Structure 1
């Protein structure tokens, strides 16, 4: 039986209780991502960057110029992130779309049958999604330090990665995985537009970059500043209280509630912080008659470039 047949034969609908021991496979996912990125960097992104940025004239640009290396490196970083966010978004939607809680937040906390939060089991396909994303953010913490271009919001990005990883682990163990999967889907969608816009900017395709940035801003407002606080946070703050059996869970119920919601509201603060940066960039774009600056986050001055 081949690999494809083996994967296809797995019962992804199988349910079991989420436990810390499930994260024993996390190192495999954490190693998987840098391996795939290394291969894509060497055999796909490098050639794609040279072709789109310099085309037939790339030999005339000087192969060892600092500016060329910097632009190629940024393009490859955005290409990698685009591949990840797009694949993660497709995976999240495939896992959640047919579930009742995808459209009705009440079912985050009740069902199937007489299951109520936090005594809910998790399907294998949802566990796989969590290990996939947790592996990416584990890798991303190290990549931010040793691999990627250092930017002015390094501290904020590092805080985001660490908070996201903690949020993923705790939401999984505390049976918040249903709401967590929808949060993941909300976040990855807008990031796809951002990375497409950045690659277009590096390639000199200004019109595509501007259009992608507009889609990014619109998706950010709708998904992260409207749907996230007024539907997701409303459900995690209020709706869950209606379903919690306080007599059965007098201690761990409130602990899970306050711990998880604190992290979710911290994420909202980061959304607002980045929205301020995007708003400034949007104003600048209007003033420059549609011309987009290279990145909503500027490179830090005086920082050394990490070598590939």
Structure 2
């Protein structure tokens, strides 16, 4: 391992809680070319993709690590099937519209996972004294300053095991369990990228930036599922209308949009990309094998966040103009996509359900 070029106390290091976007752009315009020149000198024989393939072949995981992730992925799948079976009965007895019968279990499962996952991440970033990555992003590289590979915090091992298992499960679930949507293939790719990012950051021991990435994402996923569940549950086939679900759904939708902009767009740039595209260049090991690939994946995830924000912005605009419900306009069976009114969609769903029952 080649030690970091500087340490946190070096006066040349720009260290703030949240980087100014304009200043950050100037810093990255210097740090990235600097890293390219330095890495070319450190690994002059690097040839893409041959060298990358050789590096990937050097990855070694213990049997315990592999079996733990696969075991947890199987547990998540079985737990989700159990929830799905129980809620399918519940949706029938509680007069949920047929077109929501599959969506309710899916959203409920994702809310459970993302909710618990984000609470763990919140505890790590706000309550663990040795981890201060959110308030001081560059501090995630402090343990590397001595030139030795630091020990991994036990909570990082737990976070990485559960998150890796979830994305292994999600690859399967996207194809066989989730409702198919316009961006399902993008989600499929996203799960592979997330899993690869977890693996490579774990191998290089860059787990603190990985945990910060997850912290900035999982809360909006949980809030989105609250919005969707409120929409699915507020109106029933027996004529009942639960107004508190209407208020809950609209509040959650507004919160979701705000969280997305702050966490996934602003803080992602001014904290995570600041700590990686700038800070890691000078404060992390100079010869980390997978640093360039991890950087590319972080940028791809940011582009995905921008792409999905397009759906959010369109939804906000439609709700503001028409007063309609904040329906997920990625789905093939919604009013926004199909052009059919909700009554027609409900009739189609009811007929499909009857055919399946027969």
**Relative contact order: is structure 1 or structure 2 higher (C-alpha 8 Å, sep ≥ 6)?**
2
Q: Which residue of 1 aligns with 2:88?
A: 46
Summarize the alignment of residues 217-236 of structure 1 with structure 2, pairs less than 5 Å apart. Answer: 217-236=257-276
Q: Does 1:297 align with 2:302?
A: no
1:243 to 275, 283, 289: 283
Shift of 1:257: 2.1
Q: Which moved more, 1:143-152 or 1:264-273?
A: 143-152
Q: Does 1:94 align with 2:126?
A: no
Q: Which residue of 2 aligns with 1:278?
A: 312
Unaligned runs of 5+ in 1: 1-17, 59-66
Q: Which residue of 2 aligns with 1:32?
A: 75
Shift of 1:41: 2.2
Summarize the alignment of residues 262-273 of structure 1 with structure 2, pairs less than 5 Å apart. Answer: 262-273=296-307
Shift of 1:72: 1.2
Q: Does 1:104 align with 2:133?
A: no
Q: Is the 8 A contact 1:116 1:244 kept in 2?
A: no
Shift of 1:237: 0.6
- 3-state DSSP of counterpart to 2:290: helix
Equivalents in 2 of 1:156, 1:83: separation in Å?
A: 23
TM-score (structure 2 length as normaliser)? 0.68
- Aligned pairs, number: 264
Q: Is the 8 A contact 2:134 2:271 kept in 1?
A: no
TM-score (structure 1 length as normaliser)? 0.79
Equivalents in 1 of 2:125, 2:66: separation in Å?
A: 21
Q: Is the 8 A contact 1:26 1:131 kept in 2?
A: yes
Q: Does 1:197 align with 2:227?
A: yes
**1:176-203 CA distances to partner (integer Å, 9 max, x unpaired)?**
1111111111110111110000001111
Shift of 1:30: 0.9
Shift of 1:286: 0.3
- 3-state DSSP of counterpart to 2:102: helix
CA RMSD of aligned residues (A): 2.4
Summarize the alignment of residues 78-227 of structure 1 with structure 2, pairs less than 5 Å apart. Answer: 78-97=107-126, 98=128, 99-111=131-143, 115=146, 119-204=149-234, 205-227=245-267
- 3-state DSSP of counterpart to 1:230: helix
Equivalents in 1 of 2:114, 2:147: separation in Å?
A: 31
- 3-state DSSP of counterpart to 1:101: coil
Equivalents in 2 of 1:234, 1:116: separation in Å?
A: 22
Q: Is the 8 A contact 1:23 1:131 kept in 2?
A: no
Equivalents in 2 of 1:105, 1:20: separation in Å?
A: 28
> Structure 1 stretches (4+) deviating beyond 3 angstroms?
46-52, 114-117
Decide whether aligned partners of structure 1 residues 212 and 245 sit closer, same or farther in structure 2, where only a CA change above 3 A counts.
closer
**1:18-63 CA distances to partner (integer Å, 9 max, x unpaired)?**
96223342111110101111222223x33553466x2xxx7xxxxx
Which structure has the larger Rg? Answer: 2
Decide whether aligned partners of structure 1 residues 25 and 213 sit closer, same or farther in structure 2, where only a CA change above 3 A counts.
same
Equivalents in 2 of 1:196, 1:293: separation in Å?
A: 12
Q: Is the 8 A contact 2:315 2:327 kept in 1?
A: no
